[in-house]
Structure 1
Amino acid sequence: MSLAEEPQHQNHPFLNSGGEMGTLLRSFDWSTISLGNPHRWEQSLKTTLGIILNSKFPMLLFWGKELNCFYNDAFIYISGDSTLSSLNPGATGELVWKETWVKIQPMIIDVMKGGDAVWVEDQMLPIYRREKRKDVYLTLSASPVNDELGIVAGVLMTCNETTQKVLQQKKTKENERNLRLIILQAPVAIAILRGPEYVVEIVNSKALELWGRKSADVFNKPILQAMPELLSQGIKDLLDNVYESGEPFVATELPIELFRKNKLETAYLNFVYEPLFDLEGNINGLIAIGTEVSEQVRTRHQIEETAEELQAINEEMLSSNEELALSNERLERAEEMLRFSVEAAEAATWHMELETRKFITSNRLKQLFGLTTQAEVSYKDVINKIPEDHRSVVRAAILLSFREGTSYHMEHPIIGFQGKKRWVRALGKLYPANGRQQGHFSGLIIDITEEKENELRKNDFIGMVSHELKTPLTSVMGYIQLLTNKAKIAEDTFGYSLLQKTNVQVKKMSSMINGFLNISRLESGKILIEKQVFNIDELVKEIIEELQFTITSHKINLSLCENIQVNADREKIGSVVSNLISNAIKYSPGGGEIVVKCAQKENVMEVTVEDDGIGINSEDLTRLFDRFYRVENLNTKHISGFGIGLYLSAEIIERHNGKIWASSEPEKGSVFYFNLPLS
């Protein structure tokens, strides 16, 4: 029987199954091409083709001198070229690969000539998908296939598309470049330290200025080697603790000895050390952010010391007429010291008699408020120099000091010469009449414009960086979810577990960024309260169930919670409840119980969160809800936090016209309360 007379459509076991390509191969008339009838093919061709057709992995086989190409359904999907369906089975590789053949052919020819197997990672190839040219990245493997004589007769190629991975790597590098530019241009000192030796990877000009170093002195060097004066000051222990525990460290007005201008000098710094993580959730470095507040601290200390001495002198004057002469001498000395301190701090003073309302100011005050130094100045003149949106607040604070005898302490803007806006800090006190002198309201004002603008720039920078980080972080979370689903489908337990851990770390970072964004929105007045009517008991139960699902160290007990409807922002009130419970867990020993209650009291709804933890000293209770304030003692040194949770909670409750407070005793636990009006 001749080749033309041989049956072309007989059953060939190696062509069974194989999906769309298997059907096409079984129905094709092989007498039309040089390969001829399949039953006469080499056994190695049949075996390899059977493997390809039954594989879910994109595979191709180039056979013979003409490089006849066979591929499976998976390759049709990865190529995305609808014209493949118009090609005959066994078409040449040049027709199958088209535009990419110029890159693929040399690899195939080398292997056909007896070369070793070839493996190429992330090869960019132009491929048409939906009639549009796309740059696709593939990892390719080309292996020789021998005939019965051991001679290379074909090449088996496997393909794995890595486009998504390559694009993500490029995007990550772009984000890193953008972050580097942000750091280098930041208005505060920032440095990135890598590895357990804390090698300086990035440092901006503000940090170099603060350290008293040049870039060449510290770049790519361990920070403790470049700045040896830090070794004896416990800085290494702080760095090691953050690197090993993953818990941030925040310092306020910490005195540090720095070698600057050829001598050691004490600098007061506000700074934070924050751990940096790789994609696997392992700590690989730290980011240090800080500002120097030495001038402000020294000025405040000087004023406080002078004020304390002046108070002591005043009390001594009243104690005995016999010591009047000595007291006057000391008073004159103290007044001289006070004048010197006031002049050194460029502070302005005022004195207002309560009975006559006569208002006396220093020339410095007139200069600050844009008033001529020769003219008399009234209380009204000064008040009118305060912008309208702050004027009523200042008046209310002064009236409160008059009425209750409390100290007056305010920070507010003023309008100086040529309408220039400046910020001042005003400190005052009401001195009642005592028989020898009239009652008066006196104090001083300090220009804090530079300090305030630095703070505003810092807040703007934090908000900007947080917003810049949130966008790529959202993309990362999406990729993690996609990879997690793929790992789950592929039953890759190790990859699935690793991705789950990575997701936890990304959520922590997202929570931290959201906290800084909320602070930025609060201070810019852009945070919105969207009220709705809801049941407080349902909200509290949802939050407890969510927290209890992830926390096994404590038991959260909802002791009593009435079915009360409130009109408030459900999401933000939920964040307040979640923050109070999380703090109770954080500051309580393992195995403890957290008790949550909510009830109606007269015209308000009140929620309480009680723990049996370490408790809080009375002096800390008054500042718990201040921004960035953290209780610092031996019990809290290893507990992480930025001091923003309670601050944000207080701002949210205040915007609902509610009240938030706490009661506590050291070693006996704490109770946190907040209420919301029901009317």
Structure 2
Amino acid sequence: MGPHVPTINQYPFLAEGGIMGKLIRNFSWKDTILGDPEQWPSALKISVGIMLRSPFPMHITWGMEYIQLYNDAYRPVLGTLKHPKALGLPISESFPEIWDTVGPMFAGVMEGRPVRIQDFRVFLERSGFREECYFDFAYSPILDEQGNICGVLTNVIETTDKVNAFLELENTQEELRASQAHTAQERDRLMEFFRQAPAGICILEGQDLRFDMVNPLYQQLFPGRELLGKALLQAIPELLGDPIIGVLEEVMASGKTYHGTDELIPMSRTDGGEVENRYFDFTYQARLDGKGKAVGILVFAIEVTERKREEIRKNDFIGIVSHELKTPLTSLQAIVQLAGIRLRKAGSADGFLIDGMDRAAGQVKRMTEMINGFLNVSRLESGQIHIEKTQIDFTSLVVEAMEELQLSSSGHQLVMDCRDVHMVMADREKIISVVTNLMGNAVKYSPTGGRVEMDCSCNNGELVFSVSDQGLGIAPHDLERIFERYYRVSGRQTKNISGFGIGLYLSAEIVRLHGGKIWAQSELGKGSTFYFSLPLED
């Protein structure tokens, strides 16, 4: 097994991809269990094509043998010892030192349980020695056209430098606590330590938050700007009116420490420079006097703008790919529907062909809904979902959604107990998607012939809507995570029920953007009730 050199690229889906694209094209896949790329399943072809074109670290393992493919951006994760030998090998052979940890995670993903972990610590041997590494990663299932899980897609960002910097910050904070009662000489020593610390540190004194100490790394966040001795808003006037000023004032008033992660703070780097969106991980720790009153704030800050921009670019990439897939699907849907109509008008006796067109239309609709879900997640995380509120009759909205769902769910009883008119200020399109998702889930997880009940009422200035089913029910440990992105309940009974864990996450975010709440109650084997509330007055 190994590379060979074909005269041309026989497989268009393996085009581009830089170094890894060339290695994958020249690899003797016929000698592996994957076989000739021409015969690869369409799900593998599509996944590999997207991976090779992605600028972000991506890794695919296929089948229960976990055969590996990866792109150029993933190569640094493997290091010089593991790359390029990892290509085409089972992942357990490339990472034997951590397989006892990550192996069960891969097995769980193959059973429908995606994994997302931040700052996960592993010990890797990738450069000739054992090193401690940290990663943000997500393991997601790859599904074929029938919804069967065939492989695992890994998206990963190495966070080793960030974690090490925060560990240094924690050590610095411990030093600060231990030094509060020390002599002036020890204070000077600690100040010197701050100046040499591997993160931006400053001390803000008094109610006007005057810069009393600024270490070199903090000054580098504002090259050329004079900070020392100036009040915060005098040194950085563009912060006037920014929510971060309110956070600092609250720390001074309460004496409580504030931790921020991926916080957006629009600031310029130089005096008179362009204000840009900058992101920070930081800690604001109140400095207390002998009576416990806050007299200043110790600031620890690390700029993570580049990492955040990379996440935004990744979301944009997913959105672009999803959008590009949507156009041919729309055309395919029209062709399939038109073919079905013509077959029926022509009085065709070919029941197999008519049934095949109906099934194809259903699969195209399912793929369209899936792509729309990914597009909405991308828009939500990039702040592009906007709520446009108008006054709507919520009851008629629910009845409309129920009647439309009944057309495709004739085997279930859909019942609306409340028929009173309830007017609310809301984005009609967004709220009907939440209602449809909750009702659709109730039907999907209920037995044929089951009863699904909708109800709504007004309490304490809120409209409360509920959907109840007599389905499988949800275990307590799953219920507390049910609204997380990509989270799906795993188990024998749910294994063959399609879904990506997007609907409830989007529903929860839409309700939150309306100023409402969403929650659920459930009992295994007896069914579930999902609720959400909306304020009656805006």
- What TM-score does the superposition give when structure 2 sets the normalisation length? 0.69
Aligned in 2, Cα 1:589/1:497: closer, same or farther, shift over 3 Å? closer
For 2:376, the aligned partner's letter is N
Please give the per-residue CA displacement for 1:527-564, whole angstroms capped at 9, x wherever unaligned: 34455543211222344455677779998764546311
Aligned in 2, Cα 1:248/1:541: closer, same or farther, shift over 3 Å? farther
The answer to whether structure 1 residue 614 and structure 2 residue 458 are counterparts is: no
Distance (whole Å) between structure 1 residues aligned to residue 486 and residue 249 of structure 2: 28
Report the equivalent of 1:415.
Answer: 268
Distance (whole Å) between structure 2 residues aligned to residue 310 and residue 591 of structure 1: 66
Aligned in 2, Cα 1:238/1:417: closer, same or farther, shift over 3 Å? same
Please give the per-residue CA displacement for 1:474-521, whole angstroms capped at 9, x wherever unaligned: 344445545666887755556666666665555444333223322333
- CA RMSD in angstroms, aligned pairs only: 5.1
Task: Please state whether the residue corresponding to 1:417 is helix, strand or coil.
Answer: coil
Report the equivalent of 1:292.
Answer: 158
Distance (whole Å) between structure 2 residues aligned to residue 297 and residue 228 of structure 1: 24
Report the equivalent of 2:517.
Answer: 660
Report the equivalent of 1:674.
Answer: 533
Residue pair 2:112, 2:488 contacting (<8 A) in 1 also: no
Report the equivalent of 1:360.
Answer: 212
Report the equivalent of 1:427.
Answer: 283
Residue pair 1:605, 1:678 contacting (<8 A) in 2 also: no
Higher relative contact order (CA 8 A, sep 6+): 2
Aligned in 2, Cα 1:216/1:370: closer, same or farther, shift over 3 Å? closer
Report the equivalent of 2:376.
Answer: 518
Please give the per-residue CA displacement for 1:37-92, whole angstroms capped at 9, x wherever unaligned: xxxxxxxxxxxxxxxxxxxxxxxxxxxxxxxxxxxxxxxxxxxxxxxxxxxxxxxx
Distance (whole Å) between structure 2 residues aligned to residue 285 and residue 473 of structure 1: 24
Report the equivalent of 1:132.
Answer: none
Task: Please state whether the residue corresponding to 1:217 is helix, strand or coil.
Answer: coil
**Residue pairs, 1:193-212, within 5 angstroms:** 193-200=61-68, 202-212=69-79
In structure 1, runs of 5+ residues without a counterpart are 1-169, 318-326
- What TM-score does the superposition give when structure 1 sets the normalisation length? 0.57
The answer to whether structure 1 residue 473 and structure 2 residue 339 are counterparts is: no
The answer to whether structure 1 residue 396 and structure 2 residue 275 are counterparts is: no
Worse-superposed segment, 444-453 or 274-283: 274-283
Report the equivalent of 1:381.
Answer: 234
In structure 2, runs of 5+ residues without a counterpart are 1-37
Residue pair 2:165, 2:199 contacting (<8 A) in 1 also: no
Residue pair 2:279, 2:303 contacting (<8 A) in 1 also: yes
Aligned in 2, Cα 1:279/1:558: closer, same or farther, shift over 3 Å? closer
Distance (whole Å) between structure 1 residues aligned to residue 76 and residue 426 of structure 2: 48
Distance (whole Å) between structure 2 residues aligned to residue 555 and residue 298 of structure 1: 57
Worse-superposed segment, 512-521 or 265-274: 265-274
Worse-superposed segment, 345-354 or 545-554: 545-554
Report the equivalent of 2:12.
Answer: none
Please give the per-residue CA displacement for 1:461-486, whole angstroms capped at 9, x wherever unaligned: 22222222222333444455456668
Task: Please state whether the residue corresponding to 2:65 is helix, strand or coil.
Answer: coil
Distance (whole Å) between structure 2 residues aligned to residue 585 and residue 266 of structure 1: 47
**Residue pairs, 1:96-115, within 5 angstroms:** none
Residue pair 1:557, 1:595 contacting (<8 A) in 2 also: yes
Deviation at 1:230?
A: 4.9
Residue pair 2:213, 2:228 contacting (<8 A) in 1 also: no
Residue pair 1:615, 1:664 contacting (<8 A) in 2 also: no
Report the equivalent of 2:394.
Answer: 536
For 1:189, the aligned partner's letter is P
Please give the per-residue CA displacement for 1:261-311, whole angstroms capped at 9, x wherever unaligned: 123434333333444445565554443322222333444455457657866
**Residue pairs, 1:419-498, within 5 angstroms:** 419=273, 421=276, 422-430=278-286, 434-435=290-291, 439-481=295-337
Residue pair 1:414, 1:424 contacting (<8 A) in 2 also: no
Distance (whole Å) between structure 1 residues aligned to residue 100 and residue 494 of structure 2: 20
Distance (whole Å) between structure 2 residues aligned to residue 343 and residue 632 of structure 1: 48
Give the number of equivalent residue pairs: 482
Residue pair 2:455, 2:466 contacting (<8 A) in 1 also: yes
Please give the per-residue CA displacement for 1:421-477, whole angstroms capped at 9, x wherever unaligned: 443233214456552765333332221122222222222222222222222333444
Distance (whole Å) between structure 2 residues aligned to residue 629 and residue 279 of structure 1: 19
Give 1 or 2 for the bigger CA radius of gyration. Answer: 1
Report the equivalent of 2:204.
Answer: 351
